[in-house]
């Protein structure tokens, strides 16, 4: 009887795992490859930065999809230091927290700053107002995530643009 119990539990768990695997979106690697593709008929270096919000100046500078200005680079470093990927995913695609690739398409900077500073405890988002790294790099963090959401920063891992 105990063997049947174990067998049934194993089969049930395999069924749940199968459902999760087959209903989940593409792997992060697949998503990253999609994001690394430039806009069709438009070379990456000719894309208008922040083109989805052309009436607003872009808060970042990006070249070739992953070379970014120093402020944006510090934002990426703050992202890593605060371990935001634990909830929002390494590619900002969302895990237990929402996808920032979607949220930052419409979320303005003031709301972003308020959310990061105060948190949204009712939804599980902690406050980062005591994190010196995050608070000193809010502009860069917003720039990095906005660039990712707009599709101008095509890779989740960026490099600093060296001025010549």
Report pLDDT digits (tens) over 17-42.
Answer: 333 333 334 444 444 444 444 433 33
At residue 63 the predicted structure's pLDDT band, cuts being 50, 70 and 90, is confident
Task: Classify strands 159-160 and 67-68 as parallel, antiparallel or unpaired.
Answer: parallel
Q: Which CATH architecture describes the domain 36-160?
A: Orthogonal Bundle (1.10)
Number of Cβ within a 10 Å radius of residue 26: 11
Number of Cβ within a 10 Å radius of residue 153: 26
Full-prediction pTM beyond 0.85? no
- Choose between 78 and 28: higher pLDDT: 78
For residue 12, give the H/E element and its range. Answer: helix 2-23
**Is the Cβ–Cβ distance between 141 and 75 less than 8 Å?**
yes
| pLDDT(99) > 70 | yes
Q: What is the mean pLDDT of residues 87-111?
A: 93
At residue 79 the predicted structure's pLDDT band, cuts being 50, 70 and 90, is very high
- In angstroms, the CA 53 to CA 61 distance is 15
pLDDT digit string (tens) for 112-154?
Answer: 999 999 999 999 999 999 999 999 999 999 999 999 999 999 9
Nearest to 85 by CA among 160, 148, 150: 148
**Is the Cβ–Cβ distance between 69 and 60 less than 8 Å?**
yes
Pull the structure tokens for residue 16: 């749940």
Which pLDDT score, from 0 to 100, does residue 134 have?
96
- In angstroms, the CA 28 to CA 99 distance is 13
Nearest to 90 by CA among 21, 38, 35, 157: 157
Pull the structure tokens for residue 100: 């920032």
| Per-domain residue ranges of the chain | 1-27, 36-160
Which pLDDT score, from 0 to 100, does residue 17 have?
39
- In angstroms, the CA 85 to CA 93 distance is 9
**Is the Cβ–Cβ distance between 155 and 36 less than 8 Å?**
yes
At residue 65 the predicted structure's pLDDT band, cuts being 50, 70 and 90, is confident
Nearest to 62 by CA among 73, 52, 75, 54: 73
């Amino acid at each position: 009887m105990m063997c049947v119990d174990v067998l049934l539990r194993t089969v049930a768990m395999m069924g749940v795992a199968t459902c999760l695997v087959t209903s989940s979106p593409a792997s992060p690697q697949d998503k990253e490859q999609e994001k690394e593709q430039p806009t069709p008929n438009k070379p990456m270096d000719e894309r208008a930065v922040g083109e989805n919000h052309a009436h607003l100046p872009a808060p970042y500078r990006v070249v070739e999809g992953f070379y970014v200005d120093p402020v944006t680079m510090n934002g990426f470093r703050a992202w890593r230091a605060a371990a935001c990927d634990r909830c929002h995913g390494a590619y900002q695609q969302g895990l237990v927290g929402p996808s920032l690739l979607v949220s930052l398409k419409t979320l303005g900077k003031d709301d972003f700053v308020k959310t990061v500073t105060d948190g949204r405890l009712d939804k599980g988002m902690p406050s980062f107002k005591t994190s010196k790294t995050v608070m000193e790099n809010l502009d860069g963090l917003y720039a990095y995530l906005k660039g990712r959401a707009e599709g101008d920063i095509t890779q989740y891992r960026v490099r600093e643009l060296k001025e010549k």
